[in-house]
Amino acid sequence: MPKGIVLKVVGGLFYLLDGDRVVKATASGKLRDYKQIPIAGDSVTYEITNENEGYLKNINQRKNQLIRPPVANVDQAIVVTSLTEPAFSSLLLDKLLVQILDNNIKPVIYFSKKDKVKDLTVFQKYFDYYKSIGIEVYVGNSLSNESTNNIQKIFKNKVSVVTGQSGAGKSTFLNSIDCNLNLKTGDYSSSLGRGKHTTREVEFLKICDGLVADTPGFSSMELNIDKERLAYIFPGFEEGLNCKFRGCLHEQEPGCKIRELVEEKKIMKESYDNYLKLLGTLKNKKEVYKK
Ligand SMILES: Nc1nc2c(ncn2[C@@H]2O[C@H](COP(=O)(O)OP(=O)(O)OP(=O)(O)O)[C@@H](O)[C@H]2O)c(=O)[nH]1
Ligand SMILES: [Mg+2]
Ligand SMILES: [Zn+2]
């Protein structure tokens, strides 16, 4: 049976990429017969019914998946983070990184809109820090393809997804990598403090010998993870995970290696504070849930 990758899902129709052709498939039988509902990025088998039409038969097991945006089987997630409009937030960046790392996906950071920033040195500490903890970091102006030329290589033979706030510049970034994509972009609204939710659906596109999913941005997001897992996968904590106590939440526990690394400035204090904030939110959530 032929195989394909789900490029996008629109109103019950699945657009499947099989080699060079795109097949529009409906789901055979009822969707509830599937153990999972097919999402973009799924690898599926299908039956051909017409020239470019078919029935989706089966979803192959996913190697990973993100809930928001809903995509499966990606090699890397590129977090598009604007330095301004919308304003940079290291808390949001850390939150996004947590979500990606929690799903065993490799994160890459692209800081956009460097041309709009008067003094770029203000942000240098973030560029340096995220690099120092092993994350690929790029800084660019997506309106000039000159500055995104050196990023093209990361898409080669990979399945990627871009994620980030509405208005951060995800679609503009992808257009700058390949102007044939011609993705719709929208203005930043200073009264709303965010973009205008221009991209409406998750869609995989061919780019630089790879596939990339443009996705709708969001204005807020909630983490769905337990505290122990947060303490384990938080970006930058990897090196220090030999605290004295197993399951250390890196708060006030004696012999906490993470706190030592914060003291030694190997973990950025601001990022550690973000960790404590996220931990606090998760703790409160549980209490509410128990009541
Ligand atoms: N000056 C400048 N403007 C940019 C840059 N990147 C994006 N923009 C602008 O930011 C606005 C929002 O860009 P989009 O690409 O639509 O943002 P998005 O992240 O795709 O937003 P959603 O689809 O709503 O999630 C547009 O007006 C872009 O022209 C950049 O690097 N420099
Ligand atoms: Mg967009
Ligand atoms: Zn600890």
Residue-level pLDDT, tens digit, the chain, 291 residues: 899 999 999 988 999 999 999 999 998 666 556 667 899 999 999 999 988 999 998 899 999 999 889 999 999 999 999 999 999 999 999 999 999 999 999 999 999 999 999 999 999 999 999 999 999 999 999 998 777 788 999 999 999 999 999 999 999 999 999 989 999 999 888 888 788 899 999 999 999 999 999 999 987 788 989 999 999 999 999 876 889 888 899 999 999 999 999 999 999 999 999 999 999 999 988 655 544
For residue 91, the SS3 value is helix
Same domain, residue pair 97 and 39:
no
Which residues make up the environment of ion ligand 3, defined by Cβ < 5 Å? 243, 248, 250, 256, 258
The CATH number that applies at residue 102 is: 3.40.50.300
For residue 43, the SS3 value is strand
Same domain, residue pair 177 and 246:
no
Domain span including residue 133: 65-214
- Is this prediction's pTM over 0.85? yes
For residues 86 and 195, give the distance between their C-alpha atoms in angstroms, rounded to a whole number: 8
Which residue has the CA at smallest separation from atom 30 of ligand 1? 113
Do 45 and 1 touch, CB atoms closer than 8 A? yes
For residues 290 and 170, give the distance between their C-alpha atoms in angstroms, rounded to a whole number: 39
Residue type, 219: S
CB atoms within 10 A of CB 283: 11
Same domain, residue pair 136 and 259:
no
Name residues contacting ligand 1 (CB within 6 A): 112-113, 115-116, 141-143, 164, 166-172, 185-188, 195-199, 216-217
Report which secondary-structure segment, H or E, holds 110.
Answer: strand 106-112
Mutate which of 117, 138, 139, 142 to test ligand 1's pocket (most atoms within 8 Å of Cβ)?
142
Do 72 and 62 touch, CB atoms closer than 8 A? yes
The ligand that comes nearest to the alpha carbon of residue 69 is: 1
Same domain, residue pair 98 and 160:
yes
| Closest of 209, 199, 241, 173 to residue 75, by C-alpha | 209
For residues 273 and 231, give the distance between their C-alpha atoms in angstroms, rounded to a whole number: 13
For residue 93, what are its two tokens?
Answer: 């960046």
What is the count of structural domains for the chain? 3
